Structure 1
């Protein structure tokens, strides 16, 4: 791959000494300030007032492009990709949920967040078109329910991302949003329902990936995000069952999917074989679960486990720029959990790695004509990719004291 600008290397723990003297980033915008018009949530712009941080400008640009090319104001739904080609007209719930969280991140930016609050409300209203209360327990289908769509199988990880989104809403609303908390509790009930109770299975236990009959995998991302939900609910309510379930999910992943390099594999198949892919979001959710377990129990072992995985992941994905072998949405989840860990165990390399990725993505993959991120060349831009970059740039625009709210 050729680039028109000099490319600096990604950050890793093995380069800690070399980083002491400064960033050396190729993108001046990473730490610089520049005058630019401020963008409103509806896509309009207002005159610049002072000089704005580059990541704030880029977050607004990415969000405006998201709304312009993916959002339909009549239905309040999103396209799955742009340009739309064929298949279902609207996005599945997993991409929609990531756009919803990206909107919430915009609403958490100091100084401008209030502009996005009505957009957040709009996302949560539209999300309910995926809700299926005809099943016991209820949950979100993978696609829009009638009349907007035909519904779809329930995926436990889809529902877990949404549960974390409801908890983020609760956090951003001053911890007083009972409706959001209740929905997170309902989703956690669904997650525990998905626990494999057949002791004869290989690697017994674990939450299944989906209720669909065509898969019986149990994944890192169907367990660790569930643990994160349970731990946040425990910290909010004090109910011991939330902590107990979270420990079961966390311990199951560590028992069967922890690799020798301190990273986590993807899933266990029903024949006992293991998919040894090491996706960045798997590392993120286990880092986040470890950090929350430390907050919930005070046990140092969980914090140490989270820090070891964070250090191993920074080295692993920095080597040969493996960050760009990962989908942007996976990296966004990884980075959110790194920032959450940083509130307990500060490490300047966490944010530096995120800035490096944001800067390089902006230089290499952003189409300046549209503001869309084209990670897949001339193929359609996905809602997942664009939402991820809104989320990443938006998080970099947050005050570090608020990172604990991230999910």
Structure 2
């Protein structure tokens, strides 16, 4: 199986941690010189950093190291990677530099249509979708700011040269076309263009060409009519070069804030800063903010956002953060803090996933969605709340796994194992002692229930980590349901963090793909994605694996999967050796073969009575791999 980044951290640090628990003596705390590290503002800022770190770790769980992207979305991957760059720049944590570089080196070449996008990728992160290229260029500028490696800035400039070929004064007097077919001039592509050209100028010594282009583009953008009388940005222009009055999307508004702001840095023209502020103030006083919460029009309970729209609000917060940093305006900082608080309080599930609706709320037909796109977007809200001068000390913890499934033996106790990973930073190199306390339901046993670890922090923003394995015993006769394990970690002076795991006790397996219930059974996400139709799907070389840990007394078991498109279903008793039991032999792409299939799991009951179910793609070249909508499983005992 492939492991998440968090699982790898657990395995890598397990030996160290056991040594820490067994052999190291508690170290007396010595605080950093000067200041008051237990001041409430310092503790709040440390919490802001910890929240952003945990959300970043959850986002990286969805990163596909084989394709070096986030599954099945080309431009969305660029935005998610830039968000991780923002996190690292903000906090000093350099944990994900390797992923940025891996994505650069793996994806800088050409790809046929269907491999990375429905469009052909020409190389250098360019395609017929000009705005897609723009997102990659902005990401590589951030990577350059983070690492100072010239190759990233060179790539951003190469993409800029590609985009320049679509600046066309012969239509509407200027502007960048949205696509290679030259059918639409819109806000997103031109907002990107102003921001990118200004960024290139500000980073290339002696440049004048990119600055001239940026000034020309901004003058055209302001005069285009896309910024309406309320200071809000409509989506684009009609064929006769008038504003089309289409939806005010938050990402267009965010780019319109960020574009003149970067140009202000290039020129020192106060009018540009004033315009950035005007557009930000217009947004905060508009229907984009509902009861104090940034809200996309598709966030309404009777609507659903598509995979593109899921990431729009995060882009707005990226550029509002930039404006807050530049101006120091308390209004922008207060707004950013409010978004972070509502995300954490109302839009976070038990696996620390962050959803689409920052205010919370769901409906049966239009549920709140939790996936890596919504995670990246909401992460930007958390990053925006981290102070510019991030605190040196922070403390966090996560559980791995954080969702556990138990199919209990009748009349017998059950046991599961999880682990808590502790992460801490400090502004000194002295050991940091962290106390760990576990709370479980009454009658359950957890070993160890209390422990401590000593972390060798390095004095920078990259956290030191250690892992405490936890053995959990569940009493016989425990009714079906979800049960919490709560872990609280503390470090002097004044830092504390609470994390959680959920143990799902179930007599039967019954879940929808993409639901919270699914997570306990999902052994390996394997680069799979979630479709708008409600399936978990595996395209190309991706896969996903469910694990069903049947009781030791199990004599027979079966599972029913609702599947469609180009599926291959295989079974295993150990997660290593597989037998294909179901395969679609036609290249079906429209879900017309969606049906229930019942599988006999009995021959695959392993030594520990667990059965693994894997779904892959029967035709990996065309991008319509197997999708699973619903799963049930039952078992028989004497």
TM > 0.5: yes
Give the Å deviation of 1:223.
Answer: 0.9
2:258 corresponds to which of 252, 269, 288: 288
Deviations 1:334-354 (A, max 9, x none): 222122223332201112212
Preserved contact between residue 293 and residue 302 of structure 1 (Cα < 8 Å): yes
RMSD: 3.3
Whole-Å Cα distance in 1 between the matches of residues 101 and 290 of structure 2?
Answer: 40
User: Is 2:54 the partner of 1:61?
Assistant: yes
Aligned to 2:178, the other structure's residue is in SS state coil
The structure with the greater share of residues assigned to helix is 1
1:99-178 matched pairs, under 5 angstroms? 99-111=80-92, 113-128=93-108, 131=110, 142-143=117-118, 153-173=127-147, 176-178=148-150
Give the Å deviation of 1:388.
Answer: 1.4
Structure number with bigger Rg:
2
Whole-Å Cα distance in 1 between the matches of residues 126 and 322 of structure 2?
Answer: 33
2:248 match:
278
Change in Cα spacing, 1:324 to 1:75, as seen in structure 2 (3 Å) is same
Aligned to 1:204, the other structure's residue is in SS state coil
1:191 match:
163
Deviations 1:167-224 (A, max 9, x none): 1111112xx32111111111111111111232xx4x332111111x3x6111111112
1:96 corresponds to which of 77, 86, 94: 77
Preserved contact between residue 93 and residue 158 of structure 1 (Cα < 8 Å): yes
1:194-273 matched pairs, under 5 angstroms? 194-198=166-170, 201=171, 203-211=172-180, 213=181, 216-237=183-204, 238-256=206-224, 257-273=226-242
1:250-399 matched pairs, under 5 angstroms? 250-256=218-224, 257-276=226-245, 277-316=247-286, 317-320=288-291, 323-325=294-296, 327=309, 329-369=311-351, 371-375=353-357, 378=367, 381-397=370-386, 399=388
1:25 match:
none
Aligned to 1:367, the other structure's residue is in SS state coil
Q: Which consecutive residues of structure 2, in runs of 5 or more, have no partner in the other structure?
A: 18-28, 30-37, 298-308, 392-638
Whole-Å Cα distance in 2 between the matches of residues 117 and 106 of structure 1?
Answer: 11
1:14 match:
none
Q: How many residues align?
A: 333
Preserved contact between residue 142 and residue 154 of structure 1 (Cα < 8 Å): no
Deviations 1:27-51 (A, max 9, x none): xxxxxxxxxxxx969564989x997
Give the Å deviation of 1:369.
Answer: 3.4
Give the Å deviation of 1:78.
Answer: 2.2
Whole-Å Cα distance in 2 between the matches of residues 288 and 349 of structure 1?
Answer: 17
Give the Å deviation of 1:268.
Answer: 0.5
Whole-Å Cα distance in 2 between the matches of residues 363 and 53 of structure 1?
Answer: 17
Aligned to 1:239, the other structure's residue is in SS state coil
Give the Å deviation of 1:275.
Answer: 2.9
Whole-Å Cα distance in 1 between the matches of residues 197 and 338 of structure 2?
Answer: 32
Change in Cα spacing, 1:307 to 1:372, as seen in structure 2 (3 Å) is closer
Give the Å deviation of 1:398.
Answer: 5.3
1:73 match:
65
1:84 match:
none
Whole-Å Cα distance in 2 between the matches of residues 206 and 400 of structure 1?
Answer: 37
Change in Cα spacing, 1:338 to 1:196, as seen in structure 2 (3 Å) is same
Instruction: Name the TM-score, length of structure 2 as normaliser.
Output: 0.47
Whole-Å Cα distance in 2 between the matches of residues 152 and 110 of structure 1?
Answer: 30
Preserved contact between residue 186 and residue 235 of structure 2 (Cα < 8 Å): yes
The structure with the greater share of residues assigned to strand is 2
Whole-Å Cα distance in 2 between the matches of residues 55 and 118 of structure 1?
Answer: 24
Whole-Å Cα distance in 2 between the matches of residues 285 and 271 of structure 1?
Answer: 24
1:182 match:
154
Preserved contact between residue 142 and residue 152 of structure 1 (Cα < 8 Å): no
